[in-house]
Amino acid sequence: MLKNKRKFKTVDLFAGIGGIRIGFESAGFETIYANDFDKKAAETYNLNFGDIDSSDLFDVIKKNKMERIPKRFDILLGGFPCQPFSLAGHRRGFADSRGDLLFAVIEILKIRKPKAIFLENVKYLKHHDDEKTFTRIRDELKSVGYDIKAEVLNSMHYGNVLQTRERIYIVGFRSPRTLMRFHFPDKMAS
């Protein structure tokens, strides 16, 4: 928990039922806005945490409803849709409308400019379309001011999770100095 410091504020996009939120809040962060378009996920999220915006992010951006998203927050969290990049799916990438949702995140970053980002997706994202997809994501994030580090981690090695769940985690900062100091965690001892 953060001691004697202000709580960093997060915006949780593609919030699902709140898994990423739980991790960040247990480390002392404060969630000030959450969004998930999936009605069932939003219903469960509301039962767990309270208010969630279930608007389509593209509608929020295209219809000038950005006032829904707080003007000031420290970290954008986002487990953006994985189906377009998963080996289990059709692997259509950005040709799939769900894959395009990443560009809604880019627009929000461009306008709100939080200090940091934390994105999560399937491990195959790193290799999708001969790594062109990941390169484009990295370049898009760089174009709006974020340098990133990315790592595929298996959650069973980093917490009390009883399943193998390999995911790619993308962490970015506006400050190159902060990015240099950031390191992914070491595996927990068995």
What domains, with CATH codes, occur in the chain?
Answer: 80-190 (3.40.50.150)
Report CA torsion sign: 114, 152, 143, 147. positive
Per annotation, catalytic residue among 82, 117, 119, 141: 82
Asked about 82 being catalytic, the answer comes back as yes
CB atoms within 10 A of CB 103: 16
User: Percent of the chain, pLDDT > 70?
Assistant: 83
Q: How far apart are CA 148 and CA 22, in angstroms?
A: 23
Which stretches of the chain score pLDDT less than 50?
1, 87, 90, 94-95
